[in-house]
Structure 1
Amino acid sequence: MSGERPDERRQRASDLMHLNAMALEETERSLHDNAEDRANPAAAERLHRLADSMTDTARDIADRARDLAARDPEPERH
């Protein structure tokens, strides 16, 4: 937002990225549960693979969020 310092914007972006990663992990759990309820083994396997890829994506987002938050503050421009 306007008036925010670069480090505040970076922290807010990092926080939002963490929330997105957590949402993906919740979706991943739901997909695994849904896969367990499938009578069709091929469909269940596809859901498990999709869920696993979401886990990978969530991990990548969380890693990027940590890296973003850990950056040295940039000097303010006037």
Structure 2
Amino acid sequence: DEADLTAPVLSVSLGDTAVFRIGPAEGGKTQSLKLASGDVCALTGPARLARHGIDRLLAGSSQLVPGGGRINLTLRRAR
């Protein structure tokens, strides 16, 4: 339902820090980075269609979400 696959995807992280992993769409080596509460990740260009996901959460790294955990808001252009 996405109108334009060249439009960026924005991901907003709230709560516990997450270890985010990203790699080429066609497979290969991945990279990891930490996304803390309040971080915004923009997937643009080749990264827009990359394989990506959360590897694990760092429990207790934020007090924003009662009882712990993470909320992710993903924003993308759709019809």
Is this a same-fold pair by TM over 0.5? Answer: no
TM-score (norm 1): 0.26
TM-score (norm 2): 0.26
When you count strand as a share of all residues, which structure comes out higher?
2
When you count helix as a share of all residues, which structure comes out higher?
1
